[in-house]
Amino acid sequence: MTGRADRTVRAGSQASSGELLELVRSGRATTRGALQQATGLSRATVGQRLDRLFRAGWLREGAGGPVDSPLGGRPSITLEFDDAHAVVLAADLDTRHGRAAVLTLTGEILAEKSGLLVVDEGPDAVLGELGRWFADLLVKAAKPADAVCGIGLAVPGPVDSDTGRVVQPPIMPGWDGYDIRGRLSRAFAEHAGTGTSASAGAVSAGSGVGVPVLVDNDANLMAYGEQRTGYPDCSAFALVKVSTGIGAGMVVGGTIYRGIDGGAGDIGHIRVGADALCRCGSYGCLAAVASGGAVARRLAESGVAAASGSDVRDLLTSGHPEAMALAREAGRQVGDVLATVVTLLNPGVLMIAGDLAGTPFLTGVRELLYQRALPRSTAHLDVVTSRLGERAGLIGAGALVVEYLYAPERVEERLAALGV
């Protein structure tokens, strides 16, 4: 995958094995000579630091590159990140459904499962079941449990990224402050039979046991996955997920923007002047009038069988006229709020995703967005729908784990733990 923010590589004797790996992974330097030039290290020092990466199984030699010298000679051997030495587990939770997968380090899905997972049943039960799913998926992918280097989880609530705990989530009763990292790590170890030792040389991400687990908001990870795979050159990317609730994720400068404690992007609780009661306990929130859950409620009141955003999605797919009219109206309400978001953030891409992300809703968004926002804010804006669909959160969660584990400073920790 591409699209991560460039990291500064220190020159001279300070450049580490981790920073050399970063140069190779980013494509900025893929031969020994190019690494010498980028870092100022001697040939011998580059060789020593690369040797650690080869012994860990993280680098491999590729085909010969172009001849650098005008005098000719043998082509330089290229260096490549070996994405086959480990795999990542990822899961994406919605209010009533879950999706999980085994992914390569470059984001290819090797095995996948989706099914009923109700967050209202509480974190202990839901995360325990996810551990079972992960063990079954590894069998399906023909990968051993000790090949797993990390787990990424997307949840429908605000997350403190330092602790991996959700903070006062409006639609996740019983999850506030729960140790998600620790429980999911233990559940995986229990069902996959790994014990409590870190796999594939991974270093703990704060879980205390087992493989590192990273947790983030679902809209954040959807935005991360979509931006990296489809819009790597977009320096300000925004995604709005409209399902049972409404949330937004932003990727700025190649990095997820979370705010100071994970609360950024919670646009579903912006007040819009209505008198509808929201699940957060307040009146007049955007989610209370324009989310998939709100549309489902209005359909149910008129006698149409609908209880959730996924039910509305099915009705929209079948062309149900009342569902389409309500989705367009909801789009207009969301578009009114997005006019302010676009004016503040000035993104290059605004992506609409989730259960309602079809033509009626998108039409409504565009109507109000372009009417209310200043032309300067929308002159270079693309308003689009999801490319990755239901897999966006999985791809983003997997990418988050890889970027965490192969960041230069963490590479050094992991190499030391491996004794290389």
Confidence of residue 64 (pLDDT cuts 50, 70, 90): low
The per-residue pLDDT for 6 is 53
Per-residue model confidence as pLDDT tens digits over 257-307: 999 888 899 999 999 977 889 988 899 999 999 999 999 999 999 999 998
And the tokens for 161?
A: 């990224």
> Residue 159: CB partners within 8 Å, gap ≥ 6?
165, 166, 167, 215, 216, 217, 220, 262
The per-residue pLDDT for 373 is 93
The candidate with the shortest Cα–Cα distance to 80, out of 136, 21, 40, is 21
The per-residue pLDDT for 244 is 85
Whether residue 86 is predicted with pLDDT greater than 60 in this model: the reply is: yes
Q: Tell me how far apart the alpha carbons of residues 98 and 68 are, in angstroms, rounded to a whole number.
A: 51
This model's pTM is above 0.85: yes
Confidence of residue 198 (pLDDT cuts 50, 70, 90): very low
The per-residue pLDDT for 223 is 98
Residues in the chain: 420
For residue 381, what is the DSSP state? -
Whether residue 182 is predicted with pLDDT greater than 90 in this model: the reply is: yes
Strand partners, 148: 87
